[in-house]
Structure 1
Amino acid sequence: MISLNSIRDSFEGVIPSVIATTDPAGMPNISYLSHVYYVDERHVALSNQFFSKTAANVRSSGLATVMVVDGRSGAQHILDLTFRHSEENGELFERVASHLAVMSAKQGMANVMKLRSIDIYRVEDCRAIIPVAPLAEAPASSTSSPRLPLTANLANAIASQVDAEAMLDCALDVLHKQFAFPNVMILVPDDSGEKLTTIASRGYARFGIGSETPMGSGTIGIAASTRRPLRISDMRRGQRYASAVRAAFEAEDHTLRNPLPTLAEPLSQLAVPMLCRGRLTGVLFVESPNSFAFGHEDEDALLLVASQLAVGLTLSELERFDSRPPETRTASPTQPKQTSFAVRYFSADGSIFINNEYVIRGVPGRLLYTLLRQYLETRRSSFTNREIRRDTSLGLPDFKDNLETRLILLRRRLEEKAGPVRISRPERGHIELVVEGLPAIELMT
């Protein structure tokens, strides 16, 4: 029997599989399967969605035969299966449901292809189909370098960083350059828990700092909501998803339009949740215009990196919370430029505009409004993390407030906009507001 692990590329769902069963009278029935899921060396799982005739035949005989196809080489294998049991929840069910949710949404069938259960089969035999003509050699993987040494080196590099922002930059730089991942981004949950916001990226035409995607939607959102990694090896079976998401977003009548800087037509995507003690601190996301760009070793490597980033961000928050930096410093008296710039602040959602251009919303928006208001009233430009946490108008929770990531997000968003306001970090526990001109603040409800 051929090892299932040696044909893992056949379980990526790139090319549909075929399942054959027979009824009690011996009449055969053949159906297509969107995906056969690898469980372990002796078991596979099939999603139970439509195949009532197949399901009835399996209930009768307990037997099925499946053909799987390697999407890279075209190699075909036959699996002889014996039905074991069905599952309607649990780790494996959620993993299959997450993958199916992305792929069915791409085909415009999110409500039709909802997973009811998964059927677990024991593999009694696995044998190759001898091709009529020699198969073309499978293309070499774009990520063929060993992952364990690279991951160990990256872990050491992340651990040596002195603050959260340097840690994020280190991780993305290494993943982009040494792992050769063409497009990488890190997103963090916003204060509402309904969206994820880009805090750092590499490989895109624009950084997209502050861009958003809904929780529970798409590869990123589903990985975040389920707290499970999600890897898609070939997305050609329905490219309508990306354009549909953009169209739905743009159909909303608002001016806070800041879509993710994702690829227009990605073929491979991998999203890994960043978890610390069960708490979601972010999502590490990579994608590529090539199919089969990310393998199982890549997924394992990113799981380790994502965990370390989650712990690092959490420790950074705890250190900032527990440390007692000096009280508020006052900026040296300098004469600001006499030019003014318009600031509109919407208290309903914390969104802020500078010179009629959207900047950011939520906690970062409320924070920027507070800093600009105090600057306008007192000319203060230096503030401490400690006093910011004590400001009840920002709506921060008492503990684990993610202030550090919000400050990183705000600083980078202002830097990307290259407007009259910037934020610098002169020393630990302090932020410096750099303003060119006088803000003319208009409060909107």
Structure 2
Amino acid sequence: MSGLRLDGLRRAMEGVMASVLATCDANGIPNVSMISQVHYVDPERVALSYQFFNKTRRNVMETRRATVLVTDPETLGHFRLALAYEGTETAGPLFESMKAKLAGIASHHGVEDVFRLLGSDVYRVLSVEAVPGPVVPLVTNRPSLLAATRRTCAALDACADLDELLDCTTACLDRDFGIGCSMVLMAGGEAGRLYAVASRGYPVTGVGAEVAPGEGVIGVAARENAPIRIGHMTREYRYGEALSDSARRSGLVADAPRRIAFPGLAAPRSQIALPIAEAGCVVGVLFAEAGEINCFGYEEEDALALVAGHLAARMALLRQETQEETPAEAMSPAPADGQLTVRYFRADQSVFLDRDYLIKGVAGAILWRLLREHLANGRNEFTTRELRLDPALRLPAHSENLDARLILLRKRLDEREARLRIEKAGRGRFRLVAACSLALEEPDAGEAAG
């Protein structure tokens, strides 16, 4: 390879400007075509989108050689890459990342129903050559991503508990990166779904909103444990009512009254989702979006991947620290004000306050357990340890998400301005506060027992 570095040309591989691919058949007869996407894989490899079985594809299979011309959309500089074909991937992180980007490119050009990725053709780059010609001087007024990452990681290090850490993450994306709309979702929901535990920049927080595996950029990033991003609005990766209807029809989510609407932008044009992983296991997803096109490139992906990795490390450390319980602070009971009827449906562990839906799943089962103990013996202080050891709660194997579920429950109660709330009472301890008398109902208990 020449002195030019492939990773310095990543702007030219965003799909903003079409690339030109040249091949020859076994007899040396050339063929030139436009290609939708050249994807950066690593400092020595790129991947080209395989969409059609045509003359270009036949030539590559015969000679295993190609040349592609890419263009930097900001400087208009052209670069020629000599390539050697290595293989084709039809599934996995690389394929899904290219599929998402191609869907955005196709949507931008109005050909969503035509552009379908059949495979990701991986090539080793043999040489990189700058094509002589005029270029536009690069002028940028963007914030330093390295400095933004450093400030964000320092802020996360200063957080004392998971609740503060999650809110700090979205606040730092706004303050340091200029990303106004973001959220953190945790894995471990029912049927493998993720659920939002923190958000910023939306009219409603959407805390508790769920995303199914493989659904949009969030679900694909979690399933593949790889960053997924798009630079243009696309039907396939858009969250909204139509997507929720589809999920309900397929049985992935409950009926409409027992769900929380996804809080995303009505018309996002750029989205990025980065897995939050511990020891190779995805425990959550960091998600950001914007109303402008092409807001998240390779550089932003690298920076936010570092933030997601640091967030995972801080979550693990704080979880270890909360294993040690500290004494609870003394508190006077709140005066009773009326009555609240809490209904629990065992089938999906959903909880309703009077007739209004609150939460379901493990978080619902936790609240029901607390309320029953509170009414049975007046108890209002609990520990996370006892919940982890309670088999009746059916906590998943990765019960480290228990703290996140308690945060979810607390935020949902706060949002509803319910006369119930969850408060911290020390390390590894929390308190149930009821400012009214409570009546508990379990309408389907008899059916379940029978």
TM tier relative to shorter chain: 0.7 to 0.9
Q: State the secondary structure of the residue aligned to 1:311.
A: helix
- Aligned match of 2:415: 416
AA aligned to 1:83 is A
Alpha carbons 1:97, 1:115 under 8 Å: kept: no
Q: Cα distance 1:30–1:244, how it changes in 2: closer, same or farther (>3 A)?
A: farther
In structure 2, the CA distance between the partners of 1:60 and 1:297, relative to structure 1 (3 Å rule), is: closer
Partner of 1:195: 193
Shift of 1:208: 1.0
SS of aligned partner of 2:406:
helix
Q: Which one of 108, 113, 116 corresponds to residue 116 of structure 2? A: 113
The 3 A distance-change label for structure 1 pair 74 and 155 is closer
Q: AA paired with 1:246?
A: E
Who is 2:35 aligned against? 33
Q: 1:412 to 1:31 in 2, by over 3 A?
A: same
Structure 1, 220-229 or 73-82: larger mean CA deviation = 73-82
TM-score (norm 2): 0.84
Secondary structure of 1:79's aligned partner: strand
The residue that corresponds to 1:86 in the other structure is: 87
**Deviation of the 1:433 alpha carbon:** 1.5
Q: What residue number does 1:359 align with?
A: 358
1:186 CA drift (Å): 0.5
Superposition pairs of residues 127-276 of structure 1, within 5 angstroms: 127-128=130-131, 130=133, 140=140, 144-192=142-190, 194-232=192-230, 234-236=231-233, 239-241=234-236, 246-250=241-245, 252=248, 253-276=255-278
Deviation at 1:189? 0.9
2:336 maps to a residue whose letter is P
- Could you tell me which residue of structure 2 aligns to residue 299 of structure 1? 301
What is the deviation of 1:407? 0.9
Say whether the 8 Å CA contact 2:100–2:229 is kept in structure 1.
Answer: no
- Which whole-Å CA distance do the structure 2 matches of 1:262 and 1:429 have between them? 32
SS in 2 for 1:47: strand
What is the CA RMSD across the aligned residues, in angstroms? 3.2
- Residue type of the alignment partner of 2:162: A
SS at match of 2:257: coil
Deviation, 1:364, is: 0.8
With over 3 angstroms needed to count, the CA separation of the structure-2 counterparts of 1:269 and 1:191, relative to structure 1, is closer
Gaps of 5+ in 1: none
**Letter paired with 2:53:** F
Write out aligned runs for 1:257-336 (5 A). Answer: 257-321=259-323, 323-325=324-326, 336=336
Q: Does 1:122 align with 2:121?
A: no
What corresponds to 2:448 in structure 1? none
Name the counterpart of 2:74: 73
- Contact 1:317-1:402 at 8 Å conserved across structures: no
Deviation at 1:209, TM superposition (A): 0.6
Aligned partners of 1:44 and 1:123 also within 8 Å: no
Equivalenced residues, count: 430
Change (3 A) 1:123 1:110: farther
SS of match in other structure, 2:177: coil
Q: For each residue in 1:83-110, what CA deviation from the matched residue of structure 2 results, as whole angstroms up to 9, or x when unmatched?
A: 2421438xxx744312233246666979
Relative to the length of structure 1, the TM-score reads: 0.85
Identity, in percent, stands at 35
**C-alpha separation in 2, matches of 1:396 and 1:366:** 10
Structure 2 residue matching 1:344: 3-state secondary structure: strand
**Inter-CA distance 294–111: structure 2 relative to 1 (3 Å threshold):** closer
- Find the counterpart in structure 1 of residue 94 from structure 2: 96
Q: Which letter maps to 2:272?
A: L
1:372 has 2:359 as partner? no
Inter-CA distance 172–407: structure 2 relative to 1 (3 Å threshold)? same
Q: 1:32 to 1:398 in 2, by over 3 A?
A: closer
Aligned-pair CA distance for 1:308: 2.1
Contact 1:213 1:259 in 2 (8 A): no
Describe the shift of the 1:376–1:400 C-alpha distance in structure 2 as closer, same or farther (beyond 3 A): closer
Match of 2:36, as an amino acid? S
Displacement of 1:378: 3.1
The one-letter code matched in structure 1 to 2:319 is E
Q: CA deviation at 1:245?
A: 5.2
